[in-house]
Amino acid sequence: MALQEIDPRTPVLVGAGQSSERLGEPGYRQLSPVELAAAAARDAIADTGADVTAVASAIDTVAGVRQFEISTPGARAPLGKSSNYPRSVARRVGADPRRAILDVAGGQSPQHLVNELAATIAAGSSQAALIVGSEAISTIQHFTKAENKPDFSESVEGDLEDRGYGLKGLVSRLHVTHGLTDAPSQYALFENARRARLKQGKEEYAAGMGALFAPFTKVAAANPHATAPTERSAEELVTPTPDNRIIAEPYTRFLVARDKVNQGAAVLLMSVATARRLGVPEEKWVFLHGHADLRERDLLDRADLSLSPAAVLAARHALELAGIGVADLTTIDLYSCFPIAVSNVCDGLGLPADDPRGLTVTGGLPFFGGAGNNYSMHAIAETVRLLRDQPGAYGLIGANGGTLSKYSVGVYSTSPAEWRPDGSAGLQAEIDAWPSVEQAVHADGWGTIETCTVKHDRRGGRTGIVIGRLEADGRRFLAMTADGDEDILDLLGGGEAIGCRVYVRSFGFGNRATVSDTRMEELFPARPAGFRDDYEHVHVRRDGHVLEITINRPESRNSLHPPANDELDQVFDAYFADPDLWVAILTGAGDKAFSAGNDLRYSASGKPMWVPKNGFAGLTARRGMRKPVIAAVNGFAMGGGFEIALACHLVVADAAALFALSEVKVGLVAGAGGLVRLPRALPQKLAGEMILTGRRLTAAQALEHGLVNRVTEPGRALEGARELAREILEGSPTSIRASLQIMDETQAILDVIDAVTHPSQALDELMVSEDAIEGITAFAQKRRPQWRNR
């Protein structure tokens, strides 16, 4: 197609720029992320060959790629940051865009933004878009503890289309609980699964990773922007040394993305009409011939953990859209945070690891540098430079984000091509329809390892992570090793562990895997039955058939942290197992609070947070509560404290008590049963208001709506609960247990007659119990029954 025939709205890439600096080298200026991006943006604008002032004035959209320090909740920017990164960069290059975008996190972001904004230009909604990204991680880490540290803070006026972190599906409580939050561990699981699929030994596979990445080091050594411009041999890359320590098997440090960089990159897109109007020479024009953006299934949902077919589909679709095949490519850059990210696409496209064209144009993330989410912007800039030198040639960019999760592809050439909409939406629908693997959140029993890795810390410590399938039902589980379990670590780090049997057990703090059931018993001996002599966070008092349990943390309003939750779980285990205890009363120490719920100060300290499998206080997720539990609410019952009260069978509150689900006030949800139990206990609108606003109910209001059974004078909730317990003790404990069981069994039966006629074993057992006979006999003899509880 001749340039004269091109639709004037066709998007064309007209400028690309890069910037970088290294600590301690000549010219080092300790540039901020904004300044690095601005330097690259100025180069991209100048790269157009047109008047820079006119080009900057034409930019109506600036899109920014997130730095690592603004990519996750709680991430710190120790030297400060811009309040509006895209506009900070725009201001420095003389642009005043009407639209500013801050994209979601992920290495796919640069190529995705090119694909998206090219479509926006083709639709006539933009005339020129600048896309920028940068990282100053090396500088920031170097100066964080310095006395005379630079201040990178700045506040910029103007709107910002902040798209958020984009972490949905990438991080889960299950991942966090099992230490699966770092990229090396996650990718190592894929890598080891691929090795097992290829039936290769560890040494053979390691040699292959080294051979894959050795050519990358040669490219990086010749790149002036590379962070580690050192050529290395395949053997050197995979041989552990003090400088090349094992991070997560099979990865040594040289095989993973290097994030200590100071790099920036930018590209400039505009319509053909705008390029002509501004006088951008046609030899500068690079067209996007093919493009695709796809997302893989979440990690534990994938049928095969050794590959990511979505990434391959994206690459194939972009090539098909461009009307070319793999053989027609002149340059290739595959995102290379870890070897599997490259080999996965090579496997799918039939690309040999030693393809003479090379698989990187920069040197790759471990050697050029893993510039946060912005690496592929550098790859695009290098591709543009190479294609201009080879008119008519084609280059492919594969950009990966998450855990082989998001993949964006672009096929570029100087050959004229009008905009072609992609079919990613249809392909994504197919991917989303792929069957997912059923998971066992709480895994117990024998299982078979699907994949695994061993993490190594700097102090020589090791932790194993296992993904496997339970033998009993085939469900997939995630587990980690217990501290000090060298047996399982030797299995995982020794010969071939994948396919071996392991024994797994679930706890409130997660699933643990080891070599056998016997070893599991050694690591986690069964808790002694009954009550302990003393507890640190609760008081236990036995009064005949009544057990009184007091949460004893008045200094924190009886809020609960893992040790307190664990003690309560143990106490309730003992209560439900003791045949001589018929009623339990739970209250809080002091007169300020029954419980303020989760201990947020403990949580904010960064210490691991977990609750027992039986839930908050050992109650909110406990099944089969066949004996009564009374909550004596003295003061506040907030958040998790209210959820505990909701889980109890009966509630006695003093007149000063207040009830609320206040989680939304601190960015949380009432996930310990409040979202389920409160709408079943209250009118829907009132429950919704309490959940969504944190509205408080007084004891009188709670009584009116049936949330509590009785209200006492202030400070007398415990006495009221004791009186209620005495009334319960007048009835047969066997009958009470049967009543609770039948209520529980029939709760989900909607049809009343079906519920009434529900056959319950509890009723059968009651009819032949000693209590049933004693009750009838005592009634006939006009005396008080003597319950035997059997």
Neighbour order of strands in the sheet with 128-136: 11-20, 262-271, 128-136, 61-64, 99-102, 161-162
Q: Is 467's pLDDT higher than 80?
A: yes
Grouping H, G, I as helix, E, B as strand and the rest as coil, residue 777 is: helix
Task: Estimate the crossing angle of helix 183-197 against helix 339-349, to 10 degrees.
Answer: 40
790: confidence class by pLDDT, cuts 50, 70, 90 = low
Question: Has residue 578 been placed in a domain?
Answer: yes
Rg of the chain taking only CA atoms, in angstroms: 32
CB 193 within 8 A of CB 306: yes
271-285, 525-539, 757-771: least confidently modelled range: 757-771
| β-strand pairing of 593-595 with 636-638 | parallel
The reported pLDDT for the residue numbered 194 is: 97
Question: pLDDT digit string (tens) for 72-86?
Answer: 988 889 999 999 999
Instruction: Using the predicted structure, report yes or no on whether residue 744 has a pLDDT greater than 90.
Output: no
Q: Can the peptide bond before residue 416 be classed as cis, meaning omega within 30 degrees of 0?
A: no
For the stretch 541-558, pLDDT in tens is: 999 999 999 999 999 999
Average pLDDT over residues 155-159: 94
Could you tell me which residues come within 8 angstroms of residue 582 by beta carbon, excluding any fewer than 6 positions away? 545, 546, 627, 628, 728, 729, 733, 736, 789
Residue 58 to residues 4, 234, 384, Cα–Cα distance (Å): 22, 48, 21
367 in a domain, yes or no?
A: yes
**Domain-located, residue 718:** yes
In a domain, 120, yes or no: yes
Whether residues 576 and 725 share a domain: the answer is yes
Average pLDDT, the chain: 94
Whether 364 and 390 map to the same domain: the answer is: yes
Last residue of a domain, one of 481, 500, 523: 523
Cβ neighbours of residue 636 closer than 8 Å, sequence gap 6 or more: 557, 592, 593, 594, 595, 596, 657, 658, 660
Residues 741 and 721 grouped into a single domain: no
**476 with 560, same domain?**
no
Q: Is residue 608 part of a domain?
A: yes
Show which of 382, 402, 433 is a domain's final residue: 433
262-271 vs 128-136, strand pairing mode: antiparallel
How confident is the model over 697-736, as pLDDT tens digits? 999 999 999 999 999 999 999 999 999 999 999 988 888 8
Is 234 within the bounds of a domain? no
**pLDDT confidence of 658, banded at 50, 70, 90?**
very high
Is residue 428 located within the same domain as residue 486? no
Catalytic positions, written as ranges = 643, 663
Domain final residue pick, 400, 433, 466: 433
Residue 200 lies in a domain: no
Domain housing 614: 538-729
pTM of the entire predicted model: 0.91
Identify whether residues 292 and 370 lie together within a single domain: yes
224 within domain boundaries: no
Structure tokens at 562: 């893992």
Let me know whether 459 and 402 are in one domain. Answer: no
Tens digit of each residue's pLDDT (9 = 90 or more) over 182-227: 999 999 999 999 999 999 999 999 999 999 999 999 999 999 999 9
User: Does residue 285 sit in the same domain as residue 405?
Assistant: yes
Same domain, 584 and 502: no
Q: Which residue has the higher pLDDT, 563 or 769?
A: 563
Mean pLDDT of 306-310: 97
Q: How many folded domains does the chain comprise? A: 4
Report the SS3 class of residue 446: strand
Q: What is the mean pLDDT of residues 313-340?
A: 98
For the domain that residue 687 is a member of, what is the CATH number?
Answer: 3.90.226.10
d(CA 166, CA 70): 12
612 and 511 in a common domain: no
Same domain, 315 and 461: no
Q: Is there a single domain that holds both residue 703 and residue 740? A: no
| Per-residue pLDDT reduced to its tens digit, 241-290 | 999 999 999 999 999 999 999 999 999 999 999 999 999 999 999 999 99
